Amino acid sequence: MPTLEFTKMHGCGNDYIYVIGEQSRPAAPASLARRLSDRRLGIGADGLILLLGSNAGDVRMEMYNADGSRAEMCGNGIRCTARLAFERGFARKNPLVVETDAGLKTVSLKLDRDGRATAATVDMGAPILNGPDIPVMASGRVVDYPLDIDGTRTKITAVSMGNPHAVVFVEDEQVFALPDGEFAALGRKFEHHPFFPRAVNTEFVLPVGPQRLKMRVWERGSGETLACGTGACAALVAAVMTGRAQRRAIVVVRGGELEIEWRENGELAGHVFMTGEAVEVFRGRIELDEQELTPAG
């Protein structure tokens, strides 16, 4: 029976199962993502990420959420993808270019004395702020937009970092104290709201100061996660647009901290840069049926 090698990694607790598809790859990655992501019956993760060859970049990241849905981009996942590709010799470059479903992203690895990558800075590109391009069911910039959630008027600011986000600013710690079940119910109301034609990731953000934001996040397709890199970027962009933060800030998530900068001047002005950890948890292998693998290509 063939085996599939994997590496479990996380960035600020946002964990994925990584598979390097040099010789073969899962034939049905969506169903495999559902099976392996289960935290009781599988390995346990927020999803599955494949490292594949790329004609446009140094490595291609193909990502599946825990429910099997395909995702365009993951800020925490791309840092771990770059570290794994570099350390395993798949793409021995620094910085390196990662091809994603949201385009090409440049990742600069921070190496320790032994040449191991412990953290990375990602050029996430410029945020998408036009409503139909995010997409949401409104035109122009969607800033502090009143949205009806089960009869409650909630202001959201919509941002895409290659995937859609709804940022909700809160005034106190109440949302952070919600039990998991209640927070899940709240997150699903946003995720499946008809205002978001491709569903949405939702960030609940408390501005602690001009350079510090606290965030709790609900990710479409995965549920609550300990961190969301694209969500942290969207939170900072939304905070700047609404006058709640400066262009460089620390975003505090349940799994740690991310440093986010929305560059104003100089080279690559308008781009968002994210810096955070990339941690290997363990390596392993699983047995699969022969029909569950297909040649990489």
Among candidate residues 12, 74, 80, 233, the one labeled active-site is 74
Chain centroid offset of residue 282 CA? 20
d(CA 149, CA 106): 37
Whether residue 12 lies in the annotated active site: no
Among candidate residues 12, 80, 228, 233, the one labeled active-site is 228
Compute how many other C-beta atoms are within 10 angstroms of the C-beta atom of residue 111: 15
Note whether 18 and 6 are within 8 A (CB): yes
Whether residue 233 lies in the annotated active site: no
Q: Which helix (H) or strand (E) holds 258?
A: strand 256-262
Measured over the CA atoms of residue 208, residue 210, residue 214 and residue 220, the dihedral's sign is positive
**What single string gives the DSSP state of each residue in 52-105?**
E--SSSSEEEEEEETTS-EES--HHHHHHHHHHHHHTTSS--SSEEEEETTEEE
At 38, the amino acid letter reads D
The phi, psi pair for 45, rounded to 5°, reads -170, 170
d(CA 52, CA 58): 9
Note whether 192 and 199 are within 8 A (CB): yes
**Cα–Cα nearest to 85, from 56, 113, 60:** 60
Active centre residues (catalytic): 74, 228
